[in-house]
Amino acid sequence: MKILDGRELADYIKERQAKQVRALRQAWNVFPKLAIIQSGENAVSDVYVRSKQAYGTDIQVDVDVYTVSHDQLISTIQQLNADESVHGVIVQLPIEQPDMTDEVVAAIIPSKDVDGLGPKADYVSATATAIDWLLAGYNVTLRGREIAIIGNGRLVGAPLAALWRTAGHDVSVYDDTVDDLKAAIRGAQIVISATGQPGLVTEHMLQPGAVVVDAGTATENGKVVGDVAPSVRERTDLVMTPEKGGVGPLTVAALFDNVITSARKVADQQSD
């Protein structure tokens, strides 16, 4: 089995970003800053927030974390929208009241919506960008191949489908309304799964030589797991992401790329 290791690619990106941040801080006196807002308790979210804090430290991007009640979400976003020292604002999902997600992410102004989740965000979803980078980094050809995306969520499925369709690729999206997932994805040469349903994708669903990206995350018995069943990894004819270190590291890298771009725009305005 060939492994799509996002960590290796992320290391190269991190080196480039560190140089960009150093230039912004030294030459332009601009100090890139990301604000992360959390609401509610979620073990998976805590893991992701810590990884973003560590990444920010490595490349000298300041990361401030705000843990607030649901009632404080919108007002905190508005405060950070107005704070000129903050270049990116994200809400760590899921929030305490998931049915309010649309309203909450839409409150982030487009120029600071570095997760790319709002309807008018200036940036593409960080996770969608990460998957695109991962496949490009391993020279996986998308053009002329049948692509199946399982899950139509705001974090991965919907923005990734939009990104690839805009580029002219053959993309089919399947959500929980599909009757027979095995039959639906049988012909797919590239399969992206992002549902958060452990074990959804089994070894019998995938054609020989398929490229499989597991972008799903959930907790099972206290452990973070993906959508792909463990038995899939016993096949030797697939190209796929590892259990850890596939899409995640590149998602964080893509997020910080957007923060740096936002900070660079501020520097460019100062030079005008």
Which tokens is 79 given? 């405060």
Backbone angles phi, psi at 128, to 5 degrees: -60, -45
Name which of 93, 97, 118 is nearest 108 in CA terms.
118
Of 28, 31, 34, the residue nearest 254 (C-alpha): 34
The tens place of each residue's pLDDT in the chain, 272 residues long, gives 899 999 999 999 999 999 999 999 999 999 999 999 999 887 778 888 999 999 999 999 999 999 999 999 999 999 999 999 999 999 998 898 888 999 999 999 999 999 999 989 999 999 999 999 999 999 999 999 999 999 998 889 999 999 999 999 999 999 989 999 999 999 999 999 999 899 999 999 999 999 999 999 877 776 778 899 999 999 999 999 998 889 999 999 999 999 999 999 998 888 76
Neighbours of 103 (CB within 10 A): 11
Q: Is residue 8 part of a domain?
A: no
The pLDDT, as a whole number, for residue 272 is: 63
Same domain, 229 and 136: yes
pLDDT (0 to 100) of residue 45: 83
**How much is the pLDDT for 44?**
75
d(C-alpha 22, C-alpha 17), whole Å: 8
Residue 256 falls within a domain, yes or no?
A: no
Q: What is the pLDDT of residue 240?
A: 96
* CATH number of the domain within which 161 lies: 3.40.50.720
Domain total of the chain: 2
Residues 170 and 224 grouped into a single domain: yes
174 falls within a domain: yes
pLDDT at 46: 87
The pLDDT tens digits for 69-78 are: 999 999 999 9
Smallest CA-to-CA distance from 161 within 122, 125, 136, 137 is with: 125
Q: What are phi and psi of 33, to 5 degrees?
A: -140, 135
231 in the same domain as 135: yes
Backbone phi and psi for residue 140, each to the nearest 5 degrees, phi listed first: -85, 120
Q: CA torsion 241→246→248→251, rounded to 10°? A: -100
Query: CA 55, CA 15: separation in Å to the nearest integer?
Result: 11
Is residue 270 in some structural domain? no
The CATH number given to whatever domain includes residue 91 is 3.40.50.10860
Co-location of 75 and 155 in the same domain: no
The answer on 155 and 63 residing in a single domain is no
pLDDT confidence of residue 112: 98
Structural domain for 160, as ranges = 126-244
Are 56 and 65 in contact by the 8 Å Cβ rule? The answer is no
Regarding whether 199 and 91 lie in a shared domain, the answer is no
Residues 138 and 227 in one domain: yes
Q: Helices then strands (H, E): number in the chain?
A: 8, 11
If asked whether residues 89 and 131 sit together in one domain, one would say no
- Does residue 236 share a domain with residue 130? yes
94 and 167 co-located in one domain: no
CA distance 117 to 157: 12
pLDDT tens figures, 209-251? 999 999 998 777 767 788 999 999 999 999 999 988 899 999 9
